[in-house]
Amino acid sequence: MNSDGDIAISVKNLKLGYDDLVLLQNINFDVRRAEVFIILGGSGSGKSTLLKHMIGLYQPIEGEVWIAGRNLVTAEGDERLAILRNFGVMYQSGALFGSLTVLENVQLPLEEFTELPQPARELIALSKLKLVGLAEAAEKMPADLSGGMQKRAAIARAMALDPGILFMDEPSAGLDPITSAELDALIKNLSRTFGITFVIVTHELASIFAIADRVIMLDARAKTIIAEGKPADLRDHAPDEWVRRFFNREPEPAGAHGS
């Protein structure tokens, strides 16, 4: 049993969708501190939509998202900004600003949200870039980086303000297996060394088994969480046959759906 002090994020009774269309409902889960937490599901199950609700980009139909002891759903103004400073986000494409160098991209949150002088900002940005193995590319433009390098630069930018939580949308998508494995090792290292909590949306089974402490699985037909636990347990012992097939990469029998 974990005390409230161990909880980094708490999602309560979340119901989300667009207009009259409900995508997900009865979403309840807690993410513990320094945990690598994976949101999983088939295509169109609402994984990325759930992530966007958790980071406050979308407003849910009902429910609460508690981060650092505050409800992001109802927070406004300075309170909302205070919550946003507790986490960094890495988007699927990296979302680096193309007109700035990699170093300037990482320095940007420090410039906007702190009073730190220029040498401090430069030192912090370079140290974050070194952490993700990109210090040598500090002066390059994002367009000159490969996909994997862009994602690592995006992680460095998300970490600039030393947030306790990092949200990632499909970090391994489009990467070769070696780069993907390097990214997994980086995530694991950041979680273990700095106690950062990771909430990651991904499809990549290899990544999930390598880094996940806990997984929730969403289903488009049930419109809710259909499984929760450690990936190996779900693969071998999930009560839902579809969940086991998902982890074992088994095709669905024609005309059937396990959930």
Partner 1 sequence: MLQDHCSADVQVRPDGYATIVLRGRLDAESTPACWSKLEKELRSARVSAGQVDAAGIDFCDGSGIALLRYLSLGGMTQGAIVTIHGLKPEFQRLFEGFTADDYKTFRPKPLPRPRLPEEVGCAANSVLRDLREQVGFLGSVTAGMAGTIWNRKRMRWPEVKRVFELAGANALPIISLISLLVGLIIAFESAQPLAQFGAQIYIANMIGLLMVRELGPLMTAIMLAGRSGSAFAAEIGTMKVNEELNALQTMGLDPVRFLVIQRIMAGVLLAPLLTVYSMCLGVLGGVLVMLSLGFPIKLIYNQLISSLDVSDILLGISKGLVFGIIVAFVGCLRGLQTRKGPSAVGESTTRAVVSSILLIIIADAVFSVIIYVLER
- Can you give the binding site for partner 1, defined by CB under 8 A? 98-99, 101, 103, 110, 113-117, 119-124, 126-131, 135-136, 138-139, 141-143, 160-162, 193
Half-sphere exposure of 67 (CA within 13 A, CB side): 26
Q: In the chain, which ranges are E strands?
A: 7-18, 21-32, 36-41, 62-67, 70-71, 87-90, 165-169, 197-201, 214-219, 224-229
CB of 173 to partner 1, least distance (A): 17
Sign of CA dihedral 250, 251, 253, 258: positive
* CA pair distance 56, 74, nearest whole angstrom: 10
Q: Which is nearer to partner 1, 12 or 70 (CB)?
A: 70
Q: Which is nearer to partner 1, 18 or 97 (CB)?
A: 97
Q: Which is nearer to partner 1, 130 or 221 (CB)?
A: 130
CB of 102 to partner 1, least distance (A): 10
CB of 141 to partner 1, least distance (A): 7
Q: Which is nearer to partner 1, 128 or 152 (CB)?
A: 128
CB of 85 to partner 1, least distance (A): 9
CB of 187 to partner 1, least distance (A): 17
The CA-atom distances, in angstroms, between 45 and each of 17, 56, 216 are 12, 19, 12
3-class state of residue 196 by DSSP: coil
For Cα atoms 110, 112, 116, give the angle at the middle one, nearest 5 degrees: 45
CB of 158 to partner 1, least distance (A): 13
Q: Which is nearer to partner 1, 160 or 234 (CB)?
A: 160
Which residues fall within 8 angstroms of residue 147, CB to CB, at 6 or more apart? 94, 174, 175, 179
Q: Which is nearer to partner 1, 96 or 208 (CB)?
A: 96
